[in-house]
Structure 1
């Protein structure tokens, strides 16, 4: 009676199975098996509502049938009705405590919703029934991965895959485990194997993402294009392909693809950002203006479109001003638009207008950080005592601890503007002392070098190599910005989230070089070995160092003689005050001003030794009198490097700092620290007092 239906189901003949099952149900309407078979046939044919109705009828006829509840759960999972599916699974287990698939499905649901403790309990139960089942092993590995233990996950899943090489569920989990460990090539191999056996667009997209992560965006695009050809076109996919084309250096095709997406979804920020960059790389400003104007006509309140539109006008130009005025006409009192107008006023020297807008922003959005700070900056120029009162008022209202810390740092600067130098010093010192445990320790310094090796001859046609470094407060960051603006090969990744893993990044290198446990040639080889991952292809590099110690000369003199050292320098006492007031590119800990001064003095002593002894080719960029003159900084670097560098645009160097000699206001408040710095300051050519 059931054989025709079962045979059709086995062959995948959905229509034939539905016909055969309906005939059985018509002949035996009270038969629960017939209803289950009809449900399976309808599910195969795509009629999920009919399939659910048939399985519900089967359960009504035979409520104690655990398998029927399991099949109902499967249908509900197809429809993403997870809570209802969980109820059906629980009923299946209640009817048959050994219903292994129910435990597996419940565990999968628990993992999916993040209930890892329940998932672990269910996996253990399933393992008691079938400990070597691939589904159980896949769940154990996935659970380890979700709990942040990719090594254990890899161990479980790789061993299981060796025992069950043809199990797709294990290869799927293993691919994710490899990806979590950053082994993208192995993850790609795992998912490619699945893709060959079970072609699907989600698997193809996953492979493309893994290829992209390995730095092959062009190949990733090629992986995704078949999805478009197979009718899988969607704005999200076109946007993804456009982003990858941009990464692959194909901005022209990226523009075409991304523009089609933006026309359909003009408020999609991700598309706006990618397309703006593609236009910029193709130098298609006219197309950008025309497209954005067309979209703004229909979406005048789309802020991201206005941001993008501003990108294609010269900064602070009349055209930029006109765009901002139209933005404000479309979105009156919209704070970002007001900020844009205030920035233009500031850049062209219209300080009063910028301050007026800042006050307007604080009326619209009380507590707006940027506007409040601009108001305070204005008060520091016109009424420093009022600036102190304003910041104290903001502090009283602030609730977030990070905001309070920022305001206390600013309070110190208002004390400075008001001539209350003791109060400024106490405020800054207290702030730095509070966060010592959250900051990097000061880099260690050697206590005495062994005899330096001889300088090796400079290789012919060696690529240009330089190392940039400056103490906190030296304003070395302005030197770095100038080099980067000139498109020289500056690398600042040592200060980012993914620094190079070479000895020049590690604190222990100083001691290892001086005691002989680190071979100097190995250090240079390791440094060069990171070039590829840092994007250096021709050996040309200006490496901005996290720390400096003359111990590095043990490696540089014999193994990298073609390099040049570039040190940014200011009066050491000005550097200390700047460090206390404004912080540094790398957040080093300051236990006290005196401790910071002692470390600075020892470090600067090494710089003086290097200069006086001619220990290595170097240049001192003295920023005392040029720190606020972008053209002068560019000229100083041009003289050092032998190339002409453009000056940074006005305002690009960040907020103004204290002028040279400002340290003299602190001769009382920082007397012990200045006493530690005076000898090395004089040695470097600065006045003792």
Structure 2
């Protein structure tokens, strides 16, 4: 349906686009894209007022979708006397002046679809009609932003805003340019000026609230949105956003109320459900959670997310969990997620054969289901490793995509290991890493060893607790992070996500710059602090999961962040290398060869040994060797660091079982040279030589 509207808009067929867009909105009134397209069609038909109303409805349905806000900016232009100049110019070159809005709308749509080159082509055409039009400058600035060139976008929009200071479109786009550059306070100022001129603008209130949230001011953001909630037409998305802000402000009861109302209106919204689960967890309201979810499941028995949420409020593998899965399967007998839950319960109860039977049923319903096939393979390997190998090889021959093939080859390596063929297993895993290396980050070059360090700073007053958490690939540091996060602590793992902070702990260049004296240590720490509000940290207390570690960072931390504590996850270095080889790592580093990985790991672990032996900085070594697959053991290992008890995570949230401590000895022959590189640092860290 959307394609027909877009095609009509591209052709400039206003009536056709408008008819199709109205049909789409009637069919799916909660679809923000349908409202966006209706706005574009109304604009093309000359109904600017109707277009603004339509785009405002899209904003209400998706208040935190920045692309909709950008489109709205294109509808706010008050053309004033530029109409006459545009028409005169168009007549002088024999062009239809009515086509200019069409080109601008099409360019905005192209930007929304991510078609940057098409947007540029349309902007060039529009420039032939009205090269001095402020809306053209807004489009050109937006194109630069979409290309990732925030500096150029900011330059274009700043110059245009000075030339046409009354134009709301330019100020709107300028706000986004500041936002893209991370200048949140300037972006807020730009949007606030617009909101003062249009106090009833719902979209501007949403923008301001989001900027305040990112600056660690959830209370101000709530105050900005509060008038909208008095409107009886407040959408579930509005209530969700307010509920999330209430959570950020620590007002958990108010958050639960707004989020529950939003979920009852729109039970398919996963983001709302996740936030509501967190509110219930903070309130300790398991009964309220069960009641709300059970009511929703009576109406929506096919909603997988609701069933999974309902299971979260039962003890793992308890009778209550079994009863929930029984109800789930009664409602949807062929639901693969429900069968997955059943297999997990069988495994937890030690009923491996029954779990395998359920896995076989899953593969009947969904051939090639990776987790079910792996469960079948595990069963075969426990009984007959050779049969397991043959089964994997059959699956490999039928694999129809690269990801499935990689998973199967990784499993083949494990099967060869179990079958007593460590050389073949190591070769299989190493081959996978060679193929993946071009898509991974290069290993950061460690700084040269040093013997002199800046004096440690002293705290003049109590400071927020800061934990910097790291471990080499294979250390299972991610299980420590998951346990912290599962207990509601301020763990941030965004360095490994799609939108990492740009600070000293993210840039590899920090190592060289600090070691050479090129960087300002205080400036780097202040930069890290300044980025915390945008990461959802308003009080400075953070558990920061790092992408890399190098002792060069101590040049900044010792004098300027004395309230921090380093926490290193640790296992026998040879087990960590083997785990990295066999299972990969959360940190996307390239393992070009086992020798290259061992050489890098030996250098970095030697730095950690220096910290430990010389007391260079407050730190803790969390030895994972005996607890890597033990949720209670992991929680107990972390408790002394936090001076409080932690709840263990359910075992399934840790992921699959890993190789047992000391398993590296089985690979001594194929990986002996790599293990020899690690032996000296292993001994320094307290592990036996062999």
Note whether the superposition's TM-score is higher than 0.5.
yes
Identify the residue that residue 5 of structure 2 maps to in structure 1. Answer: none
Q: Deviations over 1:584-638 (max 9, x none)?
A: 2312212211122222233333344444445555444333334344444444444
Which moves more between the two structures, 239-248 or 150-159?
239-248
Q: Is the 8 A contact 1:474 1:575 kept in 2?
A: yes
Q: Measure the CA separation in 1 of the matches of 2:356 and 2:671.
A: 34
What CA deviation, in whole Å up to 9, does each residue of 1:331-367 have, x standing for no partner?
Answer: 1111111112222222333333222211111111111
How many Å apart are 1:379 and its aligned residue? Answer: 1.9
Check conservation: 2:476, 2:628, Cα contact below 8 A.
yes
Counterpart-to-counterpart distance in 2, 1:514 and 1:412:
40
Quote the Cα distance in structure 2 between the aligned partners of 1:117 and 1:498: 24
RMSD across aligned C-alpha pairs, in angstroms? Answer: 3.9
Q: 1:101 to 1:192 in 2, by over 3 A?
A: farther
Question: How far apart in 1 are the matches of 2:148 and 2:601?
Answer: 41
Change (3 A) 1:187 1:443: closer
Aligned twin of 2:253: 252
Aligned: 1:663 with 2:664 = yes
1:538-586, Cα deviation, whole Å (9 max, x unpaired): 6655544433334444455555566554433332222221111012231
Partner Cα distance (1:277, 1:483) in 2: 14
After superposition, the Cα gap between the structure-2 partners of 1:345 and 1:257, relative to the gap in structure 1 and judged at 3 Å, is: same
1:105 pairs with 2:101: yes
Q: SS of the residue aligned with 1:621? A: strand
C-alpha distance in 2 between matches for 1:587 and 1:380: 29
Give the direction of change, closer, same or farther, for the CA distance of 1:432–1:321 in structure 2 (3 Å limit): same
Indicate how the Cα distance of structure 1 residues 356 and 508 shifts in structure 2: closer, same or farther if over 3 A, else same. Answer: same
Higher relative contact order (CA 8 A, sep 6+): 2
Partner of 1:582: 583
Mean CA deviation greater in 156-165 or 483-492: 483-492
- Describe the shift of the 1:151–1:656 C-alpha distance in structure 2 as closer, same or farther (beyond 3 A): same
Q: Which residue of 2 aligns with 1:152?
A: 152
Question: How far is the alpha carbon of 1:95 from its aligned partner?
Answer: 9.8
Q: Does 1:132 align with 2:129?
A: no
Aligned residue number for residue 653 of structure 1: 654
> 1:319, CA displacement in angstroms?
1.6
In the TM superposition, what whole-angstrom CA distance separates every residue of 1:277-329 from its partner, at most 9, and x where no partner exists? 44444443333333333333333333333333333323322122112111111
For residues 665-680 of structure 1, the aligned pairs below 5 Å read 665-680=666-681
Task: Describe the SS at the equivalent of 1:435.
Answer: helix
Q: Aligned residue for 1:364?
A: 365
Residues 1:167 and 2:167 aligned together = yes
Kept after mapping to 1: 8 A contact 2:468/2:566: yes
Give a deviation string over 1:378-400, Cα, whole Å, max 9, x none. 22222211221122222212222
Instruction: Report deviation, 1:243.
Output: 4.4
Task: State how many pairs are aligned.
Answer: 610
> 1:504-519 residue pairs with structure 2 within 5 A?
504-518=505-519
Q: Is the 8 A contact 2:263 2:273 kept in 1?
A: yes
My pick for the range that moved more, 487-496 or 394-403, is 487-496
Cα 1:524–1:366 shift into 2, 3 Å:
same
SS at match of 1:658: coil
Q: What is the CA deviation profile of residues 657-679 of structure 1, one whole-angstrom value per residue up to 9, with x for unaligned ones?
A: 11222112112111222232333
Q: Quickly say closer, same or farther: Cα 1:278–1:532, change in 2 above 3 A.
A: closer
Q: TM-score, normalised by structure 1?
A: 0.77
Alignment partners' CA distance in 2, 1:655 and 1:71? 54
Q: Relative to 1, partners in 2 of residues 1:512 and 1:403: Cα closer, same or farther, differing over 3 Å?
A: same
**Residues 390-469 of structure 1 correspond to what in structure 2 (within 5 A)?**
390-452=391-453, 464-469=465-470
CA contact (8 A) 2:476 2:569 kept: yes
Q: List aligned pairs for 1:151-300, cutoff 5 A.
A: 151-198=151-198, 199-227=200-228, 229=230, 232-300=233-301
Q: Is the alpha carbon distance of 1:636 and 1:294 closer, same or farther for their aligned partners in structure 2, counting shifts above 3 Å?
A: closer
Map 1:43-58 → 2, pairs under 5 A? none
Q: CA deviation at 1:498?
A: 4.1
CA deviation after TM superposition for structure 1 residue 446, in Å: 3.2
- Determine the C-alpha separation between the residues in 2 that align with 1:246 and 1:640: 26
Q: CA deviation at 1:423?
A: 0.8
Distance 2:89 2:50 in 1: 20
Relative distance call for 1:317 and 1:145 in structure 2 (3 A) is same
Structure 1 residue runs without a partner (length 5+): 1-48, 50-69, 81-91
Unaligned runs of 5+ in 2: 1-21, 23-41, 55-87
Greater shift, 588-597 or 525-534, is seen at: 525-534
From 48, 52, 74, the counterpart of 2:46 = 74
The Cα shift of 1:261 comes to 4.4
Maintained 8 Å contact 2:100/2:130: no
Report the TM-score when normalising by structure 2.
0.76
- Equivalent-residue separation in structure 2 for 1:655 and 1:555 (angstroms): 38
Deviation at 1:139, TM superposition (A): 4.3
Which one has a bigger Cα radius of gyration? 1
Q: How does 1:515-530 map to 2 (within 5 A)?
A: 515-518=516-519, 520=521, 524-530=525-531
Aligned to 1:26: none
Contact 2:217 2:538 in 1 (8 A): no
* Between 662-671 and 649-658, the greater mean CA deviation after superposition: 649-658
Q: What CA distance in whole angstroms lies between the structure 2 residues aligned with 1:532 and 1:261?
A: 26
- The corresponding residue for 2:325 is 324
- Contact 2:209–2:221 (CA<8 Å) still a contact in 1? yes
Equivalent positions of 1:588-607 (< 5 A) are 588-607=589-608
